[in-house]
Amino acid sequence: MIRACLTALALVLPLAATAGEPRGTGDLGVVIERASGSVLVVDQSDRAALCRVEGLGDLSHASLTFSPDERFAYVFGRDGGLSKVDILTCALTARIVQAGNAIGGAISDDGRLVAVSNYEPGGVKVFDADTLEQVADVPMGSKTVGLADVPGSRFAVATWDTGEVWVLDHSADPADPRITRVGGVGANPYDALMTADGRTYIVGLFGEKGLTTLDLWQETPQPRRILPDYGKNQADLPVYKMPHLQGWTLAGSTYALPAVGLHQVLWADAATGRETGRTDVAGQPVFVTARPDGRELWVNFATPDNGTVQVIDSMTQGVKQTLQPGAGILHMEFTPRGREVWLSARDDDKVVIYDTRTYRKVGEIAARAPSGIFFTARAHRTGL
């Protein structure tokens, strides 16, 4: 009988094991493993990997966003795949291939809608966050870039082919968004950025110099050009990559942003949109990321300088630290209150962890060709 009972118990215990010890999700995160179509779930407090979820398709250019409960990650793959990952149970909950070629996505401020911007066939598709069933399809006659959430069940996106910004308002009817189109944004938007308050949408242009901002607090937002000289300055200058606008940062009332093709970080006044200074750095900057308190900016670089990371003092605007955290540093993510920074060292197959006060390495985690690192605190912020 004891054996029979133990067998019966064995049938029950795995359930308990699946449910697992209760755990909070506020200190979890997801690391994209770009070459293997997998993600690694990590624990900030233990500086450890928890598990790997595979089968997410082409993650060579991937991003993700979190559900408001910080339990589910929606992963946007280059191949048009939209995957929903349960980071608590370490399972791929749902996966669809919703387009031929996609570039990113966002989740609405009520957590109910997930939107994806597509290169092929273009436009934006919107899905139910629970089921991934399609809720709306908004063709725009263009590739779309820089999709971001806007407060009030809205999304903003820029159109590469037509130089517009579309704001989709799903608050009245999720399936039939009210559309605001703003034209004259500029030639070939290639990326865009939403400020943390959801007010200012900044569009980067590939087809001309400068950037365009929109004030979404206005009833009919008007394009406003800033940094009119921003872009490629010399015809013979090798630009390895147009910097993502996610590489921008706002420290106080000053933007810090990567120069295009130059070994410099630019400073611009947020109110006037005018350049106010430059800092020489170790290579072509990719991400200029403020530590959450804004006191320092951490900068990584394009190849061949992508083994270096520099720290800039936001008060003096001078470089105060030069670090060599590993080979192929692709991304940096701060813990929410800025105590540590996690860096993906793609070519070392690991994530390295630094204390942001002592600049000492405090941990590392094995990962397969890691790229983006995303902590769950993003769930609570607009534009991420």
Which residues bind to its own copies, rule: CB under 8 A?
1, 4-5, 8-9, 12-13, 15-16, 19-28, 44-45, 66-72, 86, 88-89, 109-111, 149, 151-153, 171, 197-199, 217, 253, 292-295, 315, 335-339, 357, 376-377, 379-382
Nearer to its own copies, 210 or 292 (CB): 292
Q: Which of 43, 40, 7 is nearest to 27 (CA)?
A: 43
How many CB atoms sit inside 10 A of residue 194's CB?
25
Give min distance, CB of 342 to its own copies, in A. 14
Q: Is 234 exposed, middle or buried (0-12, 13-18, 19+ CB in 10 A)?
A: exposed
Nearer to its own copies, 251 or 329 (CB): 251
Q: How far is the C-alpha of 356 from the C-alpha of 335, rounded, in Å?
A: 10
DSSP H helices in 64-172: none
Q: How far is the C-alpha of 331 from the C-alpha of 374, rounded, in Å?
A: 10
DSSP H helices in 189-264: none
Q: How far is the C-alpha of 26 from the C-alpha of 47, rounded, in Å?
A: 14
Q: Which of 114, 107, 103 is nearest to 79 (CA)?
A: 103
Nearer to its own copies, 172 or 235 (CB): 172
Give min distance, CB of 53 to its own copies, in A. 15
Give min distance, CB of 12 to its own copies, in A. 5
151 cis-preceded (ω within 30 degrees of 0): no
Q: Which of 297, 277, 300 is nearest to 287 (CA)?
A: 300
Q: How far is the C-alpha of 39 from the C-alpha of 33, rounded, in Å?
A: 5
Identify whether the C-beta of residue 185 lies closer than 8 Å to the C-beta of residue 202: no
- In the numeric block, which tokens belong to residue 106? 């966002």
Nearer to its own copies, 253 or 324 (CB): 253
Give min distance, CB of 237 to its own copies, in A. 36
Nearer to its own copies, 99 or 129 (CB): 129
Q: How far is the C-alpha of 41 from the C-alpha of 374, rounded, in Å?
A: 10
Nearer to its own copies, 316 or 324 (CB): 316
Give min distance, CB of 253 to its own copies, in A. 7
Give min distance, CB of 173 to its own copies, in A. 14
Give min distance, CB of 213 to its own copies, in A. 15
Nearer to its own copies, 181 or 217 (CB): 217
Give min distance, CB of 8 to its own copies, in A. 5
Q: Which of 345, 346, 337 is nearest to 380 (CA)?
A: 337
- In the numeric block, which tokens belong to residue 118? 């597509």
